[in-house]
Structure 1
Amino acid sequence: GMWAQVQEKYIFPIGIQKLELYGDTPPVGTRLPTYLEITEVTSKTMQANIEVQDGAGNVWMRIQGWKDWIFYWWPRLFAFTRKPTVNVLSQTMSLSNLANGCVCHTVDNENLRDFEINALARYFLHHDEMPSFHKLAEHPKRQREWLLGRIAAKDAVRVWLKEENTEEMLHPAEFIIENDDRGQPVVRNPGSDNSVPKISIAHSHGRALAVASAKSIGVDLEYISEKDTTFVEAITSSRERDWLTNVPSQEKAAWVTRLWCAKEAVSKMNGTGLNGKPKAFEAITFERSGDMTIQATENGQTTKVHTYQEENFIIALTSNPNS
């Protein structure tokens, strides 16, 4: 096992060809010199021969053809499965303009694709959350992205609670993330009387992002892709389209995505979601840094939103310091 881990492989025994015993079982506590020879390694399996001595210089046992199945697990995944109340699976994400006391975590399906999804769900989901997971079984892509979102959110919540309360980190299955009547994710039953953070979750194209904060917060994540004229007209105002005409053509897809993400982030912070009405929010100021001011067309309320491009994704972040 140790040899495999050094090679960034994780193994599970699946059988032996032959077992030979040459004496009685040594007393409990006896130190048994053991010799292992790796005889074959393929992309999926590993075989070895093992000799175990009895502690007095005699051979006690020989095993021929010990066979293991190889798992190419992400090292963070292995660390988490060993000690889930010590380690988190997702990665901390540092975003400029992320307020003190906010915790942001992200996770990518690419790092988890070799781990069975139902086993992963049992690590992270409370019993009461499993029905929501199973309802998505007919849509594997949606199911996996939903779970990725819960992984990022639960890790962010666990880290936030630990930083706030300096207690041992909770197991992710100890508490529940559910949607309230408006569809906003909320933390329930965190295992103590301590206050719980507000959260926002986003996922797109096999990646998820979540933020935990004492204040209302909204985050969105979208993959940058070309959008046709019909889509752009459906989500933007005439003022926004006029601004987009001045954007270099090679940047237009990213800026359309920034607009969409910014509106999503504000609606999530408000706890309502867009509800199919992206024009209920309008960008009234734009900065080349990616910051913009979003105004609710119904009541004129304005919100500052920070947007970031990371590789082929756009991230939007906003918060309400008064909530």
Structure 2
Amino acid sequence: MASDLTLTTNSPTRQHFWFREPSISSLSAILSAGDAKMAKQARRAIDREGLGMLKNRDYGPVTATFFEPPVSALDMAVTLDPSKLLHVTHSACGLTIAVVSIYRLREFDSDDLAVITGRNLSITEAAHMATVWPSRRRLEWLAGRLAAKSAVRAFLRMRIGVIREPTEIAVHVVGDGLCAGKPYVEVGGGVGISHSDDFAIAACTSGPVGIDLERNRRLAPSLEEAMGVATTLGMQTMPVALRWACTEAVLKHFGFGLRVDPREVSLTSWRSDGRFRWRPGPQLRHAIAAMPLPARAWAGEIAGYSLALVW
């Protein structure tokens, strides 16, 4: 969860503390204001339920109120330009998004790619990349890692004030279970990765994030069938490729991917500012019962691609 936060002490003095896109670590600034009891209560609440669960609730001496910035400009913040090798943006709603042009990477020779690899990948990551086959898939893997490292690095620098080199940020994946393949990092926040045709894109924020990018084209009949029919009036206007991106972004938020039937994600509305709502089916509801639910979901078309984010 990322939005403006006001913490108010429930005391005669009614002290107010304001935070721009807060993280758990940023709340330590309360201590410098001399209200250690307030900080302790806030931290306990956050550790127990997460930032998103604090919305407009009282916890002992603390009242927390979130003011959520609009997400309507998110499509304008993301740039899909094949001529730009890397583009990083910080959105007003707490997301740091990095786009890497696979189109540009294809133009580099082996020496250029070796320089990029040496500057950005650890020895372990470089060794793994050499095992990825075919070469097209290897380039997509590299672009995804570059995007993820760039997003996490920019998030750490902008939101927390921590500077890390790309080789210090290792992008891991869950090894097994229902969440096998879900990317994660040991520093920063949650990270999500997607790629389609000429681009790889990654998002980083303070909690879990699901992201999916799809080139606008007719989907295979099997994928359209897997999504089911759009039954609500608002969803019937959403392009099919964007509906698929929304479905994948929801499942990737929880780390499931297509190991869960896409028909378990029922898209119920899509607003003019890009925000969409969804409802889990019975199997998905059971699978996510112990997981924090996302606070936001956004989808839009950008430069011939469909992009969806859930965080």
Is the shorter-chain TM-score for this pair beyond 0.5, marking a shared fold? yes
Provide the residue aligned with 1:92 in structure 2.
88
Provide the residue aligned with 1:144 in structure 2.
139
Contact 2:182 2:255 in 1 (8 A): yes
Separation in structure 1 between the aligned mates of residue 90 and residue 160 of structure 2, nearest angstrom: 22
Provide the residue aligned with 1:291 in structure 2.
275
The letter for the 1-side match of 2:101 is D
Determine whether 1:166 maps to 2:161. yes
Separation in structure 1 between the aligned mates of residue 309 and residue 151 of structure 2, nearest angstrom: 15
Aligned equivalent of 2:124, options 123, 128, 132: 128
Separation in structure 1 between the aligned mates of residue 153 and residue 87 of structure 2, nearest angstrom: 13
Task: Structure 2 unaligned segments of length 5 or more: list them.
Answer: 1-81
Which one has a bigger Cα radius of gyration? 1
Change (3 A) 1:160 1:308: same
Separation in structure 1 between the aligned mates of residue 234 and residue 270 of structure 2, nearest angstrom: 10
- Alpha-carbon deviations, 1:65-108, whole Å to 9, x = none? xxxxxxxxx998xxxxxxxxxxxx6212465xx523x2111111
Determine whether 1:235 maps to 2:227. yes
Aligned equivalent of 2:170, options 171, 176, 190: 176
Provide the residue aligned with 1:225 in structure 2.
217
- Greater mean deviation of Cα atoms: 148-157 or 276-285: 276-285
- Pairing 1:185-264 to 2, within 5 Å after superposition: 185-188=183-186, 190=187, 196-236=188-228, 238=229, 240=230, 247=237, 255-264=239-248
- Alpha-carbon deviations, 1:145-198, whole Å to 9, x = none? 11111111101111111224434x32211231110132211113x5xxxxx211
Cα drift, residue 244 of structure 1:
9.2
Separation in structure 1 between the aligned mates of residue 121 and residue 160 of structure 2, nearest angstrom: 22
Q: Which has the higher strand share?
A: 1
Aligned length: 215
Q: Which has the higher helix share?
A: 2
Contact 2:264 2:281 in 1 (8 A): yes
SS at match of 2:258: coil
Change (3 A) 1:230 1:203: closer
Provide the residue aligned with 1:272 in structure 2.
256
Contact 2:300 2:307 in 1 (8 A): yes
SS at match of 1:160: helix
Separation in structure 1 between the aligned mates of residue 245 and residue 236 of structure 2, nearest angstrom: 20
Change (3 A) 1:109 1:246: closer
Cα drift, residue 242 of structure 1:
7.1
Separation in structure 2 between the aligned mates of residue 294 and residue 246 of structure 1, nearest angstrom: 14
Percent of residue pairs identical: 23
Change (3 A) 1:275 1:75: closer
- Alpha-carbon deviations, 1:227-272, whole Å to 9, x = none? 2544312222x4x16759954xxxxxx7111111111111111122
State the TM-score, normalizing by the size of structure 2.
Answer: 0.61
- Pairing 1:106-117 to 2, within 5 Å after superposition: 106-115=99-108, 116=110, 117=113
Change (3 A) 1:232 1:221: same
Change (3 A) 1:106 1:246: closer
SS at match of 1:225: coil
Change (3 A) 1:231 1:180: closer
Separation in structure 2 between the aligned mates of residue 114 and residue 146 of structure 1, nearest angstrom: 16
The letter for the 2-side match of 1:109 is I
Contact 1:129 1:178 in 2 (8 A): no
Contact 2:83 2:103 in 1 (8 A): no
Aligned equivalent of 2:151, options 149, 156, 165: 156
Cα drift, residue 311 of structure 1:
1.0
The letter for the 2-side match of 1:295 is R
Contact 2:196 2:214 in 1 (8 A): yes
Contact 1:224 1:257 in 2 (8 A): yes
Change (3 A) 1:231 1:267: closer
SS at match of 2:257: coil
Cα drift, residue 113 of structure 1:
3.0
Pairwise CA RMSD? 2.8
The letter for the 1-side match of 2:106 is R
Contact 1:258 1:316 in 2 (8 A): yes
Task: Structure 1 unaligned segments of length 5 or more: list them.
Answer: 1-73, 77-88, 191-195, 248-253
Separation in structure 2 between the aligned mates of residue 277 and residue 224 of structure 1, nearest angstrom: 22
